[in-house]
Structure 1
Amino acid sequence: MYAIKTFDEEHRVLATGDEPELHRLVLAKYQHGEWQFPVVIEEEAAKPWDDAAYLASMRPDPQTEEREQIRAIRRAYHDDCHTIRSLAIKTGFTNQQVSYLVHKYSLRLRNQYWRAEKYDNPNEIITGQTVDLLGDKLGAPARSIRQASYSNGIVCGYYISRVPRA
């Protein structure tokens, strides 16, 4: 790769490209009187290799990965998978991962389920299809979970809510 540079102390780059193209460009500009100042065609120096920047570009971006996962979940959702279990089976993600993404991006599911959200960390969400299943995950009795859902109470540090059918 070559570059056309001005012949003064600034060495401004006017154009880059292959050598024959640049010769034609220089002749055309001289003939039309656009460049009255002297120019030189030089070979561009290769830029030094930076291992740290290269390795940083190779790391997967977590936001991009999450966007791809939610796209897969939405595709499965549009293919009539409206439960966490069926979405997990269709996409190949874990139930916990599907549950987290469904809640984060507010997909409406057709079955009712119970949801527990950590009061000091809203990103930590535990769901269950039944009160007993959620109780097993939290280590709390189903009766206390049901009572907390009616009064917006806290059980084991989690806000409890029941998400109705859509």
Structure 2
Amino acid sequence: MNDTYVEVLVSRKKNPLVDVSRILMYVLAIVCFLLMFVNGIFLVGVIAFACLAYFVFPRFDIEYEYLYLDRELSIDKIMSKEKRAKVMNIDLNKMEIMARSNSHELDSYRARGLKELDYTSGEDGAVVYTVVFESGKDGTVLVDIEPNEEMLRAIKNVFPRKVSDY
């Protein structure tokens, strides 16, 4: 068995508004907790803020994991370093092209208004590649990823004419 395996983990850039809203939520939760002793109706506010803190805010701490194994690229979304959700599997045999996101080779695909999915860190200056492939249910799809050099080399070894460095 001579399969190539490459794993890349990319952390999504944090939104400063999430931190501000999280602090505001904690302040309001403390205020509701203190007011609960005056009037019991504020218990509803305490429960609501506790549910918000437990269920909603962990979804904003996101990482993407790219796994390349045997002509297949798997993308997983990791929330709060705990919950993992499989986002998609890309059969690279159905890939049309893989190029840097700012490449003119992608202009014809973008002009068609195809669905574009972003699984990158969102950082300025990050090296982002776009994979164009044929998805069975959605038609042609553009997927933005941030592969490292090892992953690019592994994919380019198998698909040299489909991977563009420009």
Query: TM over 0.5, yes or no?
Result: no
The structure where helix makes up a greater share of residues is: 1
The structure where strand makes up a greater share of residues is: 2
TM-score by length of 2: 0.28
TM-score by length of 1: 0.28
